[in-house]
């Protein structure tokens, strides 16, 4: 297959394909909708959740609540030194402490 000016194989740029008069986009079987069916496109976008870049999607239960907590510098340094997932481990440790000390019944 020949390459275009950018070095991409011809036919891989969707803008160029859509500009062709007889262009049909091939739809995979696992695609969310058929782009040639206007009703399917409208239904898909009517129910689509639009997010800003960096914004998280719908969370699985239980949803975490952002908060601010102040630690001594050496404590925070020690927690972070345990590696990735340190906040999850702190959450579990606090849950265990609350169960042990009657903070909640969960």
For 17-68, write each residue's pLDDT tens digit: 666 666 566 666 677 777 788 898 888 888 777 777 777 777 777 778 889 9
In DSSP terms, 3 is beta-bridged to 9
Residues 85, 67: Cα–Cα separation, whole Å: 17
Q: Where are the domains of the chain?
A: 1-48, 60-106
pLDDT at 98: 92
Hunting for tokens 């050496």 — which residue is that? 74
Q: What is the mean pLDDT of the chain?
A: 79
**What is the C-alpha to C-alpha distance for residues 12 and 5, in angstroms, rounded to an integer?**
12
What are the C-alpha distances in Å from 84 to residues 25, 55, 76, 87, 89?
42, 21, 13, 8, 10
Q: In the structure encoding, which two tokens stand for residue 9, read together?
A: 């194989």
At 75, the pLDDT band (50, 70, 90 cuts) reads: very high
């Amino acid at each position: 297959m020949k390459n275009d000016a950018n070095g991409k194989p011809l036919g891989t740029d969707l803008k160029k394909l859509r500009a062709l008069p007889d262009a049909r986009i091939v739809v995979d079987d696992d695609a969310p909708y058929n782009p040639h069916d206007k009703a399917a496109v409208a239904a898909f976008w009517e129910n689509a959740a639009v997010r800003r870049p960096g914004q998280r999607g719908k969370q699985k239960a239980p949803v975490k609540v952002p908060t601010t907590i102040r630690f001594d510098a050496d404590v925070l340094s020690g927690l972070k030194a345990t590696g990735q997932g340190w906040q999850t481990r702190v959450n579990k440790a606090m849950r265990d402490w609350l169960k042990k000390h009657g903070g909640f019944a969960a």
